[in-house]
Structure 1
Amino acid sequence: MQIDLFNEIQNPRPWPAGHEQLRFAQAIEQAVLADGLGYGCWWQVEHHGAGEFSLSSAPELMLAALSQRTSRIRLGHAAVLAPGRFNHPIRVAERAATLDHLSGGRVELGLTRSTIPEWRLFGIEADDARAQTQQAFEMVPKMWTTDRFSYHSDAYQIDDVPISPKPLQRPHPPLWQAAASPKSFEDAGKRGVGVLGTTMWESLERAGRMISLYREAAASCTEPVGAFVNNQVGFFTFVHCADTDEEAMRNGAAAAAAWYTVTALNFFEAAKEFVRTAQVQQQLAEAPDGGGLTGGFLRGEAADPPSEAALLIGRVLQGEKVPDDEIFTVLSAQDSLIVGSPETCLRKLRAYAGLGIDRMMCLQQIGGLAHDKVTRSIQLIGELIPDLDRGPEIVAAQAIS
């Protein structure tokens, strides 16, 4: 399992003078540190109108800056908002290819539909978002691999245009899809692109079943949207490592996890999204044709009682102020978070590796955690990378000898 970094440039209050520039400078420092420690990829989100939750509204510029300050770490979009009112597919292809040249061939490109508040901000209908995301997946790799490009749909009319530059990586950079629901995991597999999910509020057991759903869909993909099937799974979660378990808690891990949970659920208007997703899932579960792999997945868990984390999130969505320690305790109980000493974090990371996750995207700059505590965590997790590369069997054999 490769260890990556996932970054949103979070900017919680209170705000000192120059706070925005400070956050960008800190992110660059963290990326340079990770580059030297052997992290695999730096993943940058795209959000708009996110307030404290994220300053990462122009990830292509942040990644371009990092391309000039780093030498080996890969640079990933997690993910570009794909509907055309966010980012026209031609601009997505051009920017990613340019970044690939600036970075010496280190780009990974993820695409996603986004969610309700950002659709509203840019005047996008939900059905249009789904269709245009599919079209972007079809268009971008073709622009990269053909001399002249044409495409016709309700949204796009493109006739025989030379799109340049072409990426440095051939045939093109790996493609990914950010996903949060079983249907999105199946869609990513059917498209032949890697999937980027989160275990922040999911149990490891359910994450494992989502991975199996994706693997099955990807195994049957014979016509990927790109030139090859990128059969990889990436997951992000909150990671904070300190010299001891007690120090990790003193650093404010519980408050940071709770802040992220409440802020993210509010920003994404998760209560509305839950209703919309539930309707789609019910239709798939009850579909006369079975609803594909997702329909079977949903019927298989229909009788399962709601998890403690699901009940907790429901309380947050109803406006209840749940104590920070309770949020942290519930999420930790299902191993959603990786917090503690190097020994504790290594044990938890190996559990994730056991699920078949290829890329562990460590969200370390989160909430109110102090910058020096974040860089210390990045350092400590970086020191675990050789053990994770070698695997537990090799490490155990060396310990015995």
Structure 2
Amino acid sequence: MRFSILHELQLPGPAARGAEQQLLQEALEQVELADRLGYHAVWIPERHFQEERSGASAPAVFLAAAAARTNTIRLGYGPVPLALHGTNPTFVVESACSLDLVSGGRVALAAGESVAGAELGAFGVARADQRARWRAALGVAARMMVETPFAGGDGMPAARQVVPRPVQAPHPPLWLGGGKRATARVAAEGGLGALLLTPTDPEPVRDWVDEYYETLTECVPLGFAVHASFALALPMMVHADEAEALARGLDGAHFDAYARGYYESFGRHRPGRTSVWEEFEARRDDVGLARSAIVASGEPLSVRVLRGGLGSLRGAIGTPEQVRELVARYDDAGVDELVLHVASGGVAHHDVLAALELFAAEVMPAFAGSPRPSRFTGADARRALERREARQVVGVDDAFGADDDGAAPAAAADTEVETMGITDRSKFVAFRRDMEARGEKAFQAFVRRSDDARLERTVGSGAGLRVIFATMERQFVPGRAGGFTGDIQYNLRAADGSVRSWTVSIGGEPLRARARAGAAGGEPKLTITLAVADFIRIAGRDLDPVQAVMTGRMELAGDFAVALKLGEMFGQPAAF
């Protein structure tokens, strides 16, 4: 079993001048000590606007400083809420690769979902959209670190070489972080390590680990390597005297749990005015964090405690003997890595250092034997990688120029589209660049707030349809075509009764998609007939294609097997 540490960079209560700098310096000293003592990794989640709970808004900066002061400890960058970065993870990838270089190949990158209104509201992310967005972003991130050059997709332009490249090949280990059993299952489906940040007793965790490894054998990796590992976070404070361990560590562990619930479940925060610490002290008994329910009794440890009608949290807070027994239960459950949160909620710096030293001296040696055989073999990994799509390749003629520029300001985007004439080439180019630069989000917003007439007049012009079909060409995923070659014909009905036909041809070596205006030269494998506006709404994810078929708004003729995988072929979730 491996042992790591977690840092939220918490600073409860009003912060005096210089307190934040002192906190960071002390955290770096703790990481230095953990490195010398043989701890496996330090994890720093990325969080924003969560006063008192976390100052870790720029974890890569902290980890870069830690890299300069350490030698072997791995640097856990995340969980990073990739949905907040949209489907463009370039800056995260560049930071992770740079960190991997300066640390000599010690980085692990974890994605995650944010459930805090402080972040979702600030960055304009809908809760329902998160999973699709982080999955897309993490898949793109892996490709950025592997493809030479990056082949584009998901709103990202092709023909860009992401620099620098990481030390670790094909890329640093990829994880998914979260708090629920479902996190482990979703991680396994994507071939990712599972990093669970909500403390849970060992006995239910056994089933979680079993499900994770069973699911992992059927995974379709999001990255170009499978990282098989199950990690669980746990509050920790150890001392020879149980009562002293409780006095040093319990309030900090409880504040961390309260602050997590405050920002993710029940809090109503007034920035710069609300004292989360004062609310914690006043309400802790009401939310299952009663101090009086935890007593020094010498009993075996558990994460959740119920005593005297009050619930509370404990975890690995006790004597070395008590903590060893608890860790052995996690080891028996199959947990690969325990992530210890010691510096939580204002625990004194010297107490953190002492706990790290005592744990390393009296707990870690009991688990330092030969590693248990892996439940995910090299053969499992090879089969999993055969199921993922191949690396995408950029055409030899794809390039960008020194005179390329970005899009018009967002406030002018609608006007730009509205006034674009069918024959106005300069405005068409500006609109195309706006869509490419802003990606799907801007296009989807425009579609949602437009009626059918407006969509047909603007995006439904010849120029606008060229943009959509050109995007389909770029997003085509050869590995998901299932061997299909042939023509797909779109018959788009205009409001005036005319029909505009477009054909997407799949073929060639390497396999590519080519779109052109006009009907197929021969018999198409699949013909799709629908209104121009409905076609645009499906492209903008404002109309579900299944619903469109069921309601008669879209008609299919030909090979229905092609229709079933159409979405996946063009880089989207399966449509049917």
TM-score w.r.t. structure 2 length?
0.56
Report the 3-state secondary structure (helix = DSSP H, G, I; strand = E; otherwise coil) of the residue aligned with 1:268: helix
Q: CA RMSD in A?
A: 2.6
1:62 has 2:62 as partner: yes
Q: Which amino acid aligns with 2:161?
A: P
**CA distance in 2 between partners of 1:84 and 1:13 (Å):** 27
Q: 1:392 to 1:20 in 2, by over 3 A?
A: same
Residues 290-342 of structure 1, C-alpha deviations (whole Å, 9 max, x = no match)? xxxxxxxxxxxxxxxxxxxxxxxxxx799668632337898453896001122
- Equivalences for residues 189-208 of structure 1 within 5 A: 189-200=188-199, 202-208=200-206
Residue 325 of structure 1 is matched in structure 2 by 292
Number of the residue aligned with 1:399: none
Instruction: Work out the CA distance in 2 between the residues paired with 1:65 and 1:175.
Output: 22
1:337 aligns with 2:334: no
Unaligned 5+ runs, structure 1: 273-315, 394-401
Matched residue SS, 2:261:
helix
Aligned match of 2:79: 79
Look up the match of 2:21: 21
Deviation, structure 1 residue 10: 0.9
Distance 1:151 1:234 in 2: 32
Is 1:214 aligned to 2:176, yes or no?
A: no
- Structure-2 separation of matches of 1:208 and 1:48: 33
Greater relative CO (CA pairs within 8 A, separation 6+)? 1
Match in the other structure for 1:140: 141
1:83, distance to aligned residue in structure 2 (A): 1.4
Q: 1:259 is matched with which residue: 255, 260, 266?
A: 255
Task: Decide whether the 8 Å contact of 1:254 with 1:325 is kept in 2.
Answer: no
Pairing of 1:364-383 with structure 2 (within 5 A): 364-383=342-361
Alignment partners' CA distance in 2, 1:69 and 1:53 = 25
1:1-400 map, 5 Å: 1-85=1-85, 88-117=88-117, 118-153=119-154, 156-200=155-199, 202-221=200-219, 223-251=220-248, 253-269=249-265, 323-326=290-293, 331-333=303-305, 337-383=315-361, 384-390=363-369
Could you tell me how far apart the structure 2 residues matched to 1:18 and 1:226 are? 41
Instruction: Read off the aligned partner of 1:256 and give its amino acid letter.
Output: G
Residues 199 and 235 of structure 1 are in contact (CA less than 8 Å); yes or no, is this contact kept in structure 2?
yes
Shift of the alpha carbon at 1:176? 0.3
**1:392–1:63 CA distance, 2 compared to 1 (3 A):** closer
CA distance in 1, matches of 2:332, 2:79: 25
SS at match of 2:151: strand
Distance 1:351 1:386, change over 3 A: same
SS in 2 for 1:374: helix
**Cα deviation, residue 345, structure 1:** 1.4
Partner of 1:294: none
- Distance, in Å, in 2 between the alignment partners of 1:211 and 1:121 is 35
Name whichever of 61-70 and 344-353 sits farther off: 344-353
- Is residue 192–residue 230 contact of structure 1 (8 Å, CA) maintained in 2? yes
* Secondary structure of the corresponding residue to residue 13 of structure 1: coil
| Deviation, structure 1 residue 160 | 2.0
CA shift digits 1:267-293 (9 cap, x unpaired): 112589xxxxxxxxxxxxxxxxxxxxx
Larger mean Cα displacement after TM superposition, 50-59 or 144-153: 144-153
Measured in 1, the distance between the counterparts of 2:14 and 2:84 equals 35
Cα distance change, pair 83–332 in 1 and its aligned pair in 2 (3 A) = closer
1:88 CA displacement: 3.5
Moved more, 80-89 or 188-197: 80-89
How far off its partner does 1:199 sit?
4.6
Q: How many residues align?
A: 345
The structure number with the bigger radius of gyration is 2
Instruction: Give the secondary-structure state (helix, strand or coil) at the position aligned to 2:338.
Output: strand
Contact 2:86 2:137 (8 Å CA) reproduced: no
Change in 2 beyond 3 A, CA 1:184/1:243: same
1:157 and 1:167 mapped to 2: Cα distance?
A: 20
Is the partner of 1:144 in helix, strand or coil?
helix
Report the alpha carbon displacement of residue 242 of structure 1 after superposing the two structures with TM. Answer: 1.3
Kept after mapping to 2: 8 A contact 1:35/1:71: yes
Moved more, 254-263 or 212-221: 254-263
SS at match of 1:22: helix
Cα pair distance change 1:321/1:358, threshold 3 Å: closer
Aligned-partner SS, 2:171? coil
Seen in structure 2, the aligned counterparts of structure 1 residues 358 and 331 have a Cα distance that, compared at 3 Å, is closer
Gaps spanning 5+ residues in structure 2: where? Answer: 269-282, 296-300, 307-312, 373-576
Query: How many Å apart are 1:350 and its aligned residue?
Result: 1.3
**Structure 1 residues 91 and 322: CA distance shift in structure 2, 3 A:** closer
On the 8 A contact 1:3/1:40 being kept in 2, the answer is yes
Percent identity of equivalent pairs: 28
Give the counterpart letter for 1:236 in structure 2: A
Higher helix share: 1
Report the Cα offset of residue 213 of structure 1: 1.9
- Shift in CA distance, 246/87, structure 1 to aligned 2, threshold 3 Å: farther
**Structure 1 residues 191 and 330: CA distance shift in structure 2, 3 A:** closer
Q: Aligned with 2:83: secondary structure?
A: coil
Paired residue type of 2:332 = G
One-letter identity of the residue aligned with 1:386: P
Structure 2 residue identity aligned to 1:350: A
CA contact (8 A) 1:78 1:196 kept: no
Q: CA deviation at 1:193?
A: 0.5
